[in-house]
Amino acid sequence: MPQSPSDSSRPEAAAPELPLVPVERDGRVGFGTAAGDLRVPARFDDADGFASGLAPVLDGEAWGYVDATGALVVPAGFDSVTAFDGDRAVVYRGGHGLVIDRSGAVVATPDVDALHPLSEGLAPARKGPHWGYVDADGRWVVAPRFEEAYAFSGGRARVALEDGYGFVGRDGELAFPRTYDAAQDYSEGLAAVARGGRWGFVDAAGAVVVGLRYADARPFSEGVAAVEAEGGWGFVDHAGRLVVAPRFARVGAMVDGRAPAVVSERDGLWGYVDANGTVVVAPRFTLALPFAGGLARVATATEKGYVDRGGAWVFGPEPAE
């Protein structure tokens, strides 16, 4: 019987793929989803999150990388590793920093004394007492002349100069002339900076968008940044508006619409709040890490495991050690 347009069958849209996050079970680590699906059995000694489709894993005493199926696509042969930045990653073996490709082949052995992870195609590197930057082929692109050098984000990197902290572009030149007593990396186009013990935020051009008036500050995540004022910790938005009044004893990063928070310093227990400051998971944890892929690692005095955005156990609980 012919079907009318209103009742004709249509293919159902595929459900969105849930991200994989490291999950510890019985002292071993695998990868699971917020739906409770342990996609990669817990068979590794340690692991970190996925970046550019690969995740670092510790297999015995050496590190390698797995893909989303759990296949060891970069054999475990390194003392330590960092996240992939596109098709390259910095790894360490025998006290030396190396650059590898996605097969694990060494593509560069930079002539440096220290090498940090790649970000936006550049890696902080030290030669002698000073820091500069090398590219993904291990070539110097910013000569070592800084006291310290940090990761790039949004085309800006924090560096330490003789008179304080400043920010450089990919050419290694100062993006704006002002320096600060302390600073953090850019996140979502803004960087926390401090002068005279007061923190605020500047944009990529160096303009102050959140006045230097807070006792402390954290990087932006999901449109808000944690700031500390007289009443405790709260959150500001990109325009500097105080969207959550300072009232928490401690807070963590806002991820998946949730931020760890200690409501009362008296009991010191962690729960989770949303971007409006509403407590959405009651404080009951002695440990509460930021969410990743819909899961958060938590612990109480007797239990540990992973909870969802509503605070329900997904993996666990297991007895706390």
Domains of the chain, by residue range, sit at: 17-109, 251-321
14: pLDDT strictly greater than 90: no
pLDDT band for 125, please (50, 70, 90 cuts).
very high
CATH of 251-321, picked from 2.40.10, 3.30.70, 3.40.50, 3.30.40, is 2.40.10
Closest by Cα among 39, 75, 38 to 56: 75
pLDDT digits 0-9 by tens, 285-308? 999 999 999 999 999 999 999 999
pLDDT score, position 16: 65
Cα–Cα distance for residue pair 51/54, rounded to 1 Å = 6
HSE, CB side, 13 Å, CA atoms: give it for residue 285.
Answer: 24
Give the whole-number percent of the chain exceeding pLDDT 90: 93
Name the residue among 54, 30, 27, 32 with its Cα closest to residue 42. 30
Assign 32 a pLDDT band (cuts: 50, 70, 90): very high
N-term to C-term CA, the chain: 65
Q: Is the distance from CB of 219 to CB of 238 less than 8 angstroms?
A: no
pLDDT in tens, 180-201: 999 999 999 999 999 999 999 9
Whether residue 12 is predicted with pLDDT greater than 90 in this model: the reply is: no
Under a CB-based contact definition with an 8 Å cutoff, are residues 87 and 54 in contact? no
pLDDT digits (tens, 9 = 90+) for 209-243: 999 999 999 999 999 999 999 999 999 999 999 99
What's the pLDDT at 321? 77
Across all residues in the chain, what is the average pLDDT? 95
